[in-house]
């Protein structure tokens, strides 16, 4: 979808990080943007900047009733949504699955994966009916290949799920003129590391979590917008060094399809 043809974008996780960067990039092109975020303080800070054509809504992406209301209010203000960026997500504190609090698993998957589905449920049918629109869901490089260490299995599972969800959605929506992309960035300096503290993701291990060095959102946003315009499915950024891990997984799959060395 041409960026110039987008009239209204709805961005979750829009008060910080990648979501805020995308919202600012779209608004700078004259597009009306509704940003949704769980954090009311961050949302208020963004709205206080007075950026033209940006409105906000505080919501939990797990709350399906909130999605219905947010969609109705957004479209009453700015018209039909042409672009949905489901970016809301929280990080994991990194416990091994055998030691993980089940509530922590539910919370990560609920926000990251179910949140993305809830956005699809709210907007995809209308886009299909109009024969126009684009949906982007933010996964991660760890949604393409599990990392060696350091990332919780709940987070990895949620991001793999987003990739699969998006693959199916792309096949379903393509005949109707609606584009679908999955954003798979490497580690970004977004403040996402603070989210386990904010959401009380796992009270056993929150001390010292916070921001860490990573890629700049300002450098990712042009790649994101170019990927939308080109109707790319995979939009990959700031993770070139991760290719060997993705390649390893691809080769393991290829070997398995060929019977595997142990069967030869």
Tell me whether residue 87 is in a domain: yes
pLDDT tens for each residue of the chain, 264 residues long: 999 999 999 999 999 999 999 999 999 999 999 999 999 999 999 999 998 899 999 999 999 999 999 999 999 999 999 999 999 999 887 688 999 999 999 999 999 999 999 999 999 999 999 999 999 999 999 999 988 766 789 999 999 999 999 999 999 999 999 999 999 998 876 554 444 444 444 545 544 444 445 578 888 999 999 999 999 999 998 888 888 889 999 999 999 998 865 544
Tell me whether residue 263 is in a domain: no
Q: Is 2 helix (H, G, I), strand (E, B) or coil?
A: coil
Which pTM does this prediction carry? 0.90
Which position among 155, 187, 234, 263 bears the catalytic label? Answer: 155
Return the sign of the alpha-carbon dihedral for residues 46, 178, 188, 96: positive
Tell me whether residue 156 is in a domain: yes
155 as an active site residue: the answer is: yes
Tell me whether residue 141 is in a domain: yes
Centre a 10 Å sphere on the Cβ of residue 96 and count the other Cβ atoms it contains: 9
CATH code (residue 45)? 3.40.50.720
Q: How would you list the strands of the sheet with 234-237, edge to edge?
A: 54-58, 32-37, 8-12, 83-86, 134-138, 179-185, 234-237
Range of the domain at 113: 3-258
Tell me whether residue 264 is in a domain: no
Report the half-sphere exposure of 240 (CA within 13 A, side-chain side).
Answer: 2
Instruction: State residue 214's pLDDT score.
Output: 59
Tell me whether residue 153 is in a domain: yes
Return the sign of the alpha-carbon dihedral for residues 51, 180, 128, 38: negative
Instruction: State residue 240's pLDDT score.
Output: 80
Q: How many domains does the chain have?
A: 1
Q: Is 232 helix (H, G, I), strand (E, B) or coil?
A: coil
Tell me whether residue 190 is in a domain: yes
């Amino acid at each position: 979808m041409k960026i110039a043809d987008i009239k209204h974008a709805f961005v979750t996780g829009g008060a910080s990080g990648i979501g805020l960067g995308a919202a600012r990039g779209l608004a700078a092109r004259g597009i009306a943007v509704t940003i949704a975020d769980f954090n009311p303080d961050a949302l208020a800070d963004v709205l206080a900047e007075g950026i033209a054509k940006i409105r906000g809504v505080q919501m939990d992406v797990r709350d399906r009733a909130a999605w219905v209301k947010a969609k109705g209010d957004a479209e009453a203000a700015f018209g039909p949504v042409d672009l949905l960026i489901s970016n809301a997500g929280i990080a994991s504190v990194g416990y091994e699955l055998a030691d993980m609090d089940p509530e922590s698993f539910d919370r990560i998957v609920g926000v990251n994966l179910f949140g993305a589905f809830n956005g699809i449920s709210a907007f995809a049918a209308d886009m299909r009916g109009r024969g126009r629109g684009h949906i982007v869901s933010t996964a991660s490089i760890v949604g393409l290949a599990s990392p060696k260490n350091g990332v919780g299995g709940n987070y990895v599972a949620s991001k793999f799920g987003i990739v699969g969800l998006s693959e199916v959605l792309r096949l379903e929506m393509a005949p109707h003129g609606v584009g679908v992309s999955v954003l798979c960035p490497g580690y970004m300096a977004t403040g996402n590391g603070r989210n386990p503290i904010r959401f009380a993701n796992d009270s056993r291990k929150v001390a010292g979590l916070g921001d860490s060095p990573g890629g700049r959102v300002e450098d990712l946003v042009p790649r994101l917008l170019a990927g939308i315009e080109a109707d790319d499915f995979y939009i990959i950024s700031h993770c070139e060094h991760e290719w060997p891990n993705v390649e390893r997984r691809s080769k393991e799959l290829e070997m398995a399809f060929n019977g595997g060395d142990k069967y030869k």
